[in-house]
C-alpha cells in the first residue's frame, strides 16, 4: 500500500492532482494513475502533476505531467501555473521567477501578482518531423491538407513541446468536436497522437477555442493549445502565406485573448516568436490517500 499526500488545483477548469515529490516518494504505476484520475471512483483530474527536486544545479525544480491513461507528456501550460502556485503556497521557493525542467527542455515561470502567473512557453516547433507529424513534404507550411475519413481538411500543425493541430471553424460552441478530434488523433499523420484545437476567430486580438486533448478528451482549458492557436491566428493575420510581414504589428508581436470554456487566457507573442501565457491558478483542496 502507498500513502500519498496531494493537492487538487485547477487553471480555468483544467483540473489537476498535484504531488510534492520533494518530500515523499513518487512511484505510481500507469494503472494507479488511471484509477486516481477516475472521476467516479478516484480523485478525478485531467492530469497529474509532480513537483520533483531539480536534477541540475541551474534549475529550480523538475516538473512531470501524466495523463489519466498513465502516459507522461512533455508540457502543460495551465498545469505550469498550478505548479507555480503550489510551489509558492507550500513555501518550496520564494523566488519571483522559477526555471523549471520539463520532459523536453526548460520553462520560465514568473509570479506577476497574487492571482497572475506568466509562463514563458518558448518558441513553437514548426518542422513536421520535430512535431512529430508524418507528412509527404518535410518542410514547414502555413497550412497542410489532411485527408480524414475521406474528407479534406486544411489545418496548421505545430508543437509547443507537445503536438497540436489548429483547425479554424464557425459556430464553435455548437459543434460536436469529439468525432473529428478522435479521427485526427488516430490518423497515420501523428505517430504520437496530437491535441486538436478548434478555433473561431473573433478579431485580430481575440479568438475562441475548444481543445480535444490526447489521452484526455475535451477539457475546459488547454494552455499549450491556446498558445498554438494564438500563434497560428497571429501569423494568419499579420504575415503573408510566404511569411512576409504585411502589418506593423507583426514587427512588434501581439497580445491575443483566448476564450475557453473555463475563462480567458492572455497569450503574448514577441517579435522573435517567443510565446508567453498568463492567467490564474486556483486551489481546491488538500488530501491524503492510500492506494
Which sequence positions are flagged as catalytic? 76, 222
Q: Residue 76, class by beta-carbon neighbours within 10 Å (0-12 exposed, 13-18 middle, 19+ buried)?
A: buried
Q: Is 265 in contact with 118 (CB distance < 8 Å)?
A: no
Cβ contact 175:181 at 8 Å: no
**Grid-cell match 479534406, residue found:** 152
Contact in structure between 210 and 222 (CB atoms under 8 Å) = no
Q: Where do we find the cell 499549450?
A: 224
d(CA 13, CA 83): 15
CA distances from 270 to 13, 159, 166, 276 (A): 27, 17, 20, 8
Amino acid at each position: 500500500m502507498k500513502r500519498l499526500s496531494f493537492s487538487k488545483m485547477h487553471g480555468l477548469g483544467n483540473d489537476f492532482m498535484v504531488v510534492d515529490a520533494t518530500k515523499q516518494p513518487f512511484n505510481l504505476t500507469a494503472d494507479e494513475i488511471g484509477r486516481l484520475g477516475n472521476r467516479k471512483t478516484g480523485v478525478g483530474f485531467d492530469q497529474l502533476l509532480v513537483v520533483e527536486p531539480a536534477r541540475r544545479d541551474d534549475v529550480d525544480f523538475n516538473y512531470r505531467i501524466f495523463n489519466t491513461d498513465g502516459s507522461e507528456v512533455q508540457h502543460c501550460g495551465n498545469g505550469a501555473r498550478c505548479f507555480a502556485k503550489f510551489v509558492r503556497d507550500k513555501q518550496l521557493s520564494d523566488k519571483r521567477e522559477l526555471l523549471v525542467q520539463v520532459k523536453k527542455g526548460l520553462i520560465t515561470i514568473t509570479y506577476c501578482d497574487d492571482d497572475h502567473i506568466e509562463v514563458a512557453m518558448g518558441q513553437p516547433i514548426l518542422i513536421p518531423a520535430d512535431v512529430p507529424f508524418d507528412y509527404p513534404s518535410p518542410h514547414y507550411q502555413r497550412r497542410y491538407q489532411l485527408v480524414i475519413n475521406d474528407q479534406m481538411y486544411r489545418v496548421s500543425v505545430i508543437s509547443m513541446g507537445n503536438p497540436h493541430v489548429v483547425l479554424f471553424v464557425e459556430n464553435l460552441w455548437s459543434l460536436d468536436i469529439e468525432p473529428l478530434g478522435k479521427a485526427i488523433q488516430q490518423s497515420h499523420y501523428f505517430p504520437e497522437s496530437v491535441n486538436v484545437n478548434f478555433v473561431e476567430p473573433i478579431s485580430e486580438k481575440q479568438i475562441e477555442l475548444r481543445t480535444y486533448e490526447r489521452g484526455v478528451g475535451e477539457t475546459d482549458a488547454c494552455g499549450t493549445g491556446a498558445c498554438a492557436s494564438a500563434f497560428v491566428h497571429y501569423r494568419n493575420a499579420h504575415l503573408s502565406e510566404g511569411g512576409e510581414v504585411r502589418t506593423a504589428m507583426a514587427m512588434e508581436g501581439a497580445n491575443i485573448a483566448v476564450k475557453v470554456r473555463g475563462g480567458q487566457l492572455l497569450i503574448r507573442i514577441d517579435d522573435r516568436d517567443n510565446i508567453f501565457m498568463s492567467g490564474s491558478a486556483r486551489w481546491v483542496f488538500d488530501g491524503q490517500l492510500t492506494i
